A and B are shown apart, each in its own frame.
Chain A
Amino acid sequence: MMNENINKILLSLLLVITMTTQAQQPVASASLDTNSMLIGDQIGFNLQLQLPQTTPFRWPVFTDTLTADIEIIHRGTIDTTRMANGMLRIDQKLTITVFDSGYYVIPPVSFATGAALDTIAETEPFLLNVFTVAVDTTQAIKPIKGPIAAPLTFAELFPWILLIVAVLLIGAALFYYYKKRKKKQPVVFARPKPKIPPHRWALDELEKLRNEKLWQKNLIKLYHSRLTEIVRQYLDDRFGIMAPEMTSQEIMQAAYDINLPDKNLRELQQILELADLVKFAKYTPIPGENSQSMQQATDFVKDTAPASENKTEKMNGSNEYTKEAIAEAAPTVTRNESYAQ
């Protein structure tokens, strides 16, 4: 009976001694945030070493990879905690990633401990599963998704806010300056330059040409060129016929199309035909023909001037329009069918 009690006591002592010895040994451990991750994702690899505070140790140095395929993105600081039972706990968190799918082994991490650093404490190896995104081959291929815009920070916005404020201030200053300056200037209402009616312009130009006496100075070609230029410009301004860019034949056709009276069509045709002969066929008209062209041009302009203008000018006595001419210029004209031939 006594022997049994002695055995129990010895066994208990042995257990206590064994546990105490075990507690004094360096213990290395590691853990993963998860052992299954999406390709390219980042997970934490947590390392821990516990050992008596007086025991020397050497923490491993990590480069940018854990193995050939497992990359270390970030190395956390080594954190040391003194525990109540006289032990020391050292922690470090490594952020790791893998860029290919498959199963990867995270090898044990070794810590050298002891006075001669000859005692090795190792963590357990881990198996890491890296999976990829499932591809649905039944769907059409889509373009690469663009970069996701990061939310704007105040630091980024600040220079722009400053710029807008500056522009607004400058604008306000300019506006204020302009208003102040405008107030100082006397208000002057400029009378808009009255637009000369086409017939007025043409009659003035014809009068100028008549006074230049070109054909009397034997400048017959120049005289007829100028004369037709005035008539063409008048047709352009008065009826919108692009006569300066038209040939005589085209001008006559256009004049016929706007239903000008027969008399005016005949006048226009004679002016243009005579001018063409002078300009292109070395024709020398007799003096009567030169003055007749001028008279025909003047009559043509007067006859085809707007009816209201005619009336007004007649009442003012500023023109020598006849009643007949006004009547002829009125829109109740008949088409000269023979001209179309």
Chain B
Amino acid sequence: MIETSIREINEKIQQESAFIDLINLELNKVIIGQKHMLERLLIGLLADGHILLEGVPGLAKTLAIKSLAGAIDAGFSRIQFTPDLLPADLIGTLIYSQKNEEFVVRQGPIFSNFILADEINRSPAKVQSALLEAMQERQVTIGDSTFLLPEPFLVMATQNPIEQEGTYPLPEAQVDRFMLKVVISYPKKEEEKMILRQNNSLHRAPLNKVVSPESILRARAVTREVYLDEKIENYITDIVFATRYPSQYKLAKFDGMINYGASPRASINLALASKAYAFIKRRGYVIPEDIRAIAHDVLRHRIGLTYEAEAENITSEDIINEILNTIEVP
């Protein structure tokens, strides 16, 4: 007999998760494959966490985010980050009105529900900071006035992994603000063939707005209610602590390889993202599978490696894999 609360959560999930299929249908009209990326975008949407997409150019990062925003009846802004972009171009500024003889606020493109920060690492730190402050505080101050950002507010940023001229890598403290860092790989051969056909076709199915922002907010509220047992909490803290003190978890081989481990924000985001993952799977409680499914995306940008690790060709992915394979599952 499942306790009443879990049964209720399950029923709520059944009611509120219908839009997931609708969004998936719309996204599949324009995106072939990349199921992992689309699922992560939904996790970000449900868990109220910002997402950083990383992949080589041409993997439909921008298209996926644009399409997701297109399927939701909400505001969308795309900001192309360039080296000459200024914070005022992002958040807005005060402009003198000759008619009224006073300064008026001109809000920037950040005042929208969904923000696509394209190639975020092409702008210098001051612009990145302006965006990331808005991400954290969910408010923007222009002049003397503070403006709350609309709900839902979600930043989906893209960056290319290739070292190029004129790029400014995100500092560790700023990259930590992203709930998930999703690494996108090339599509499979069959998928590539489908992409080829779809792009050569004259007819393209238009995207419909199938979800309202209110549905998203309701789904978020249910996601928060998903049951997370103490055993799962212990599992999460064990994983995060293993990134900080590997030798305490039979991972002494990583001593001297990890410069800094995952922050408490990683624990919080692991819990939130696993709840969202359980919601997507129509389950009212979190199981260890959920943690393992999202652990890489939550942790990969939160583990700092030493020069020794880089010299040994050890990546944060290797460390996460080893941690997951070593820590006992409850």
Contact = CB atoms under 8 A, between A and B. Distances in A.
B227 A282 contact: yes
Interface in B253-294: 284-289, 292
A266 interface: no
B232 interface: yes
B326 interface: yes
A247 B328 contact: no
Contacts of B286: 280
B6 interface: yes
Among B285, B292, B327, residue most surrounded by chain A Cβ atoms (within 10 Å): B285
A282 B2 contact: yes
Interface residues of A, number: 18
B326 A279 contact: no
Interface string A235-262: 0000000101111110000000000000
Most buried by B among A244, A249, A279, A282: A282
A247 B327 CA distance: 11
Question: Main secondary structure on chain B at its contact with chain A?
Answer: mixed
Given A276-B287, A279-B229, A284 B3 contact: yes
Contacts, number: 58
Kindly name the residue among A225, A242, A280 whose own CB sees the greatest number of chain B CB atoms within 10 A. Answer: A280
B330 interface: yes
A286 interface: yes
B285 A286 contact: no
Interface of A: 225, 242, 244-249, 276-277, 279-286
Given A277-B2, A284-B3, 14 more contacts: A225-B231, A245-B328, A247-B287, A248-B287, A279-B229, A280-B229, A280-B232, A280-B330, A282-B3, A282-B5, A282-B6, A282-B229, A285-B1, A286-B1
26 contacts: A225-B330, A244-B328, A245-B324, A245-B325, A245-B327, A245-B328, A245-B329, A246-B329, A247-B289, A248-B288, A248-B289, A249-B289, A276-B287, A277-B2, A279-B330, A280-B227, A280-B231, A280-B285, A280-B288, A281-B3, A281-B6, A282-B2, A282-B5, A282-B227, A283-B1, A283-B6
Interface of B: 1-3, 5-6, 227, 229, 231-232, 284-289, 292, 324-330
Query: Which 10 A-B pairs rank lowest in CB-CB distance, beginning with the nearest?
Result: A281-B285, A282-B3, A247-B288, A247-B289, A280-B229, A284-B1, A283-B2, A244-B328, A280-B287, A280-B285
